[in-house]
Structure 1
Amino acid sequence: MKNQDLMLFEMLQPVVSAMGYELWGVEHTGDGQGSLLRVYIDKQSGISLTDCERVSSQMAGILDTKNPIRGSYTLEVSSPGMDRPLFTLGHFNQFMGHEARIRLHGKLQGRKNIVGRIVAVGADTVTILENSETFNVPLVLIDKANLVYQSSGYNAG
């Protein structure tokens, strides 16, 4: 998670938890005018549109008061969805054995994109098995990661 995303996560997490939801992740894209703040919430029984509206209303008040984002932005609150983003080592650990799509900030073993099964999670790395090749990916090198969902469900090797 980028520094600003982490700061926003830490600011919003207590509010979301107090409402009975899990704050799954935060993504802020763009700068200044027209940026997007995407917030993912979750709960055991699933997320409804009403849940998103309730959380959005609470967050809007906090964000307007604390004003952590310069310029105008759009707030979007949603469930993690079918192609669930993975933000933390805990997320990767939770979905051990499942297939993930990872985009990197730079290259690792000559690659910027890796799609494979999550086979291990270390102190600061995620190990992905793509076909017969193993990638030990430092969390700080991950730009974006999502589970790969297929019509039969999440692929768990």
Structure 2
Amino acid sequence: MGGKIAQMTEDLATPILTDMGLTLVDTEYLKEGKQWFLRVYIDSPEGVDLDTCTAVSERLSEALDKHDPIKEPYFLEVSSPGAERPLKSLDDFKANIGQNVRIGTYEKIDGEKTFEGLLEAVHDDYITVSVKNKTQERQIDIPVGKISKANLAVIF
């Protein structure tokens, strides 16, 4: 059910966000305790502030009320994805070439399932990440179909 509602929310949110010059990063519909939460993460090249989140929340809330895809009571939360935002599409990866990323894979590649490093390149079926291990640096090609989770990473 969560995936279907998240998709319907994305369909309603996309034209609103496009009109406002914003990008949809992710949508989640999940239950925490006894409460349902519909979370919409937005971004723009300049970042987003509280006023922007409030404006999106108001417009999206009106669209959700009009189309009424959710029957149970829920809380709508609109926010920025934060510094370690998820990377969901090839466009997300392309927009973040040169940034630090953390990638998890469904199966091992070179004996590992987690890679942290600099996103070097994005191709149709794989991405290239430059990974440092102590004093050694190597480039890993990760097939897109094997990526289970990806996000920007703050590396100290």
Q: Give the TM-score range, shorter chain.
A: 0.7 to 0.9
Conserved? CA contact 1:89–1:124, under 8 Å: no
Partner Cα distance (1:87, 1:38) in 2: 16
Deviations 1:58-93 (A, max 9, x none): 111212332334644332211232223222111111
TM-fit CA distance, 1:137: 3.0
1:60-79 correspondence to structure 2 within 5 Å: 60-69=61-70, 71-79=72-80
Structure exhibiting the larger radius of gyration computed from Cα positions:
2
Alpha carbons of structure 1 residues 95 and 44: separation in structure 2 relative to 1, 3 Å: closer
Alpha carbons of structure 1 residues 111 and 92: separation in structure 2 relative to 1, 3 Å: same
Partner Cα distance (1:108, 1:6) in 2: 30
Partner SS for 2:69: coil
- TM-score relative to the length of structure 1: 0.74
Partner SS for 2:48: coil
Partner SS for 1:103: strand
Conserved? CA contact 2:129–2:141, under 8 Å: yes
Deviates more, 1:64-73 or 1:94-103: 64-73
Conserved? CA contact 1:41–1:80, under 8 Å: yes
Conserved? CA contact 2:9–2:64, under 8 Å: no
The share of aligned pairs that are identical, in percent, is 31
Instruction: Say whether 1:144 aligns with 2:141.
Output: no
Deviations 1:99-143 (A, max 9, x none): 101234x223254422122122112432223232513231x4434
1:45-124 correspondence to structure 2 within 5 Å: 45-69=46-70, 71-104=72-105, 106-109=106-109, 110-124=111-125
Q: Give aligned pairs, total.
A: 147
In the alignment, structure 1 segments of 5+ residues that lack a partner are: 152-157
- TM-score relative to the length of structure 2: 0.74
Structure 2 counterpart of 1:23, one-letter code:
T
Conserved? CA contact 1:82–1:149, under 8 Å: yes
Structure 1 counterpart of 2:143, one-letter code:
V
Instruction: Say whether 1:34 aligns with 2:40.
Output: no
Structure 1 counterpart of 2:141, one-letter code:
F
Partner SS for 1:134: strand
